[in-house]
Amino acid sequence: MAKIVIIVTVVCVGVSMFVGATLAQNNALPGREGWTQEWNAAWLDLPSPMYFKVGDVIEFQFIGSGPTEVVVRFVPQSCGIAEPCEIDCQPVQVINGKASYTVAQTHATIKQISVHSGVSGLAWGCKVNGGPIAELQHVLHH
């Protein structure tokens, strides 16, 4: 039986304070996965807000071959699902159905992580043409 280690991170902003959980290395992120061909997007809704630091690696495993490239979006609690916030427009290659993304900037109070393949050549204003999206098998945090 695998052990799960939870590290509690506290981030203070002004007078408000957020206490979130970050999973230890090499664990599947908890949450509810979803996807839609209509938006060429797949996502993971996290059960509680999470914190991701520079250098963390998020691995997206698609069912089947998946798209050829995606852009990654972190949705904080303060942002609506349909709003364009915290998107990294640098396309990530998908090889054998797997995309490995290294976090380039800190993301706090994240309620959802999503990937977008941009069949039309754009996703949230980012230039990406990865073909049709596929359903996520799992999302890992290293």
* CATH code assigned at 19: 2.60.120
What pLDDT, on the 0 to 100 scale, is given for residue 118?
A: 86
Give the pLDDT confidence score for residue 26 in this predicted structure. Answer: 56
Chain centroid, CA 10 distance in Å: 21
Confidence of residue 74 (pLDDT cuts 50, 70, 90): very high
Has residue 1 been placed in a domain? no
Once rounded to an integer, what is the mean pLDDT over residues 57-76? 94
Phi then psi for residue 62, to 5 deg, are -95, 155
Q: What per-residue confidence (pLDDT) applies to 75?
A: 97
Rounded Cα distance, 93 and 61, in Å: 12
Distance CA 112, CA 56 (A): 16
- Report if residue 12 sits inside a domain: yes
Q: Which range of residues forms the domain containing residue 64? A: 6-141
pLDDT in tens, 77-133: 999 988 888 999 999 999 999 999 999 999 999 999 999 998 776 788 898 989 999
* Structural domain total, the chain: 1
Burial of 51 (0-12, 13-18, 19+ CB in 10 A): buried
Above 60 in pLDDT, residue 21? no
What confidence score (pLDDT) does residue 122 get? Answer: 72
What's the confidence (pLDDT) of residue 82? 86
